Structure 1
Amino acid sequence: MALDTFNPPVAPAVDGAPRERTARVTTASFGDGYSQRAPSGLNSVATSINVRWPPMTIGQAQTIDAFLTSKKGVTPFWWTAPGDTAARKWTCGTWTVSPHNVALGIIGEMTAIFREVFDL
Structure 2
Amino acid sequence: MPNFPAFPTLGMGDFGPVAPGSSRVARPAVLTAGFGGRYSQRTGNGINPLPRDFTFRSPKLTADKIKALEDFLVGRKGYLPFTFRVPYEATARQFICSSWQTDYTDRLKSVLTATFEENFDP
User: Shorter-chain TM-score: which interval?
Assistant: 0.7 to 0.9
Equivalent residue for 2:4?
3
1:7-86 correspondence runs (5 A): 7-9=8-10, 10=12, 11-30=16-35, 34-86=39-91
Structure 2: distance between partners of 1:54 and 1:92: 18
Distance change in 2, residues 1:110/1:14 (3 Å) = closer
Q: Which amino acid aligns with 2:99?
A: T
Aligned residues: 116
Identity of aligned residues (%): 30
Distance change in 2, residues 1:90/1:69 (3 Å) = same
Structure 1 residue 58: deviation in Å?
Answer: 0.8
Q: Which amino acid aligns with 2:81?
A: P
Structure 2: distance between partners of 1:17 and 1:29: 36
Structure 1 residue 33: deviation in Å?
Answer: 6.1
Equivalent residue for 1:108?
110
Q: Assess if the C-alpha contact under 8 Å between 1:98 and 1:110 holds in 2.
A: yes
| Unmatched runs of 5 consecutive residues or more in structure 2 | none
Task: Identify the range of structure 1 (79-88 vs 34-43) with the bigger mean alpha-carbon deviation.
Answer: 34-43
Structure 1 residue 41: deviation in Å?
Answer: 2.7
Structure 2 length as normaliser, TM-score? 0.81
Bigger strand share? 1
Structure 1: distance between partners of 2:59 and 2:20: 11
C-alpha RMSD over aligned residues: 2.0
Q: Which amino acid aligns with 1:95?
A: W
Bigger helix share? 1
Q: Which amino acid aligns with 2:110?
A: G
